[in-house]
Amino acid sequence: MQKNKCWLICLFIIVVTVSCDANRVFDEYKSVPDEWDKDNKVEFKINPPDSTNAYNLYVNLRNTEAYKYSNLFLIIELNYPNGKTVKDTLEYKMANPDGTFLGTGFTDVKENKLWYKGYQTPFIFNESGEYTVTIQHAMRQNGSVDGIDKLEGITDVGFRIEHSQTH
């Protein structure tokens, strides 16, 4: 009897945890090799649910202690179904001035949810069809013109879409 009660409590906790993410529309991660090559673009194919509602778009990253920098530069390309392309180079803060990493997580892996679109003006998928998002790093050493070929410490790159709270 006690064993069944424990299983029911565990099942309840799992159901509550999973169901609490009602804003999620799309959430996918892709692993990158031990060293993320600057030419390795991580790609996500997205079929948005509609072309009228507003959404928030995020880049999700997991990094380890092997990440040596306090910031991260990414090139994010959003390809619309009808051929339009929007390309952004964005900088994200990854660590505090004292060197402690930002993000969540109890182990040496930190998870970061970084704004991409929707934080200033609501983002609307105004074309029907499949969108493609590609993400690649654009890191450079201070004072160097050439980029870093192999970036250590990033383990996973993700993309997330949520319903906007500013309906």
**Greater pLDDT, 20 or 19:** 20
When pLDDT is averaged across residues 10-34 and rounded to a whole number, the result is: 72
pTM: 0.83
| Residue 17 forms part of a structural domain | no
| Residue 113 forms part of a structural domain | yes
pLDDT at 127 over 50: yes
Q: Identify the domain containing residue 49 by its residue range.
A: 23-163
| Residue 15 forms part of a structural domain | no
pLDDT band at 162 (very low <50, low <70, confident <90, very high): very high
**Greater pLDDT, 160 or 145:** 160
Q: Is 74 exposed, middle or buried (0-12, 13-18, 19+ CB in 10 A)?
A: buried
pLDDT of residue 128: 92
| Residue 73 forms part of a structural domain | yes
Q: How many domains, in total, are found in the chain?
A: 1
| Residue 32 forms part of a structural domain | yes
| Residue 66 forms part of a structural domain | yes
| Residue 76 forms part of a structural domain | yes
CATH number, residue 159: 2.60.120
| Residue 3 forms part of a structural domain | no
Look-up of token digits 């991580």: 42
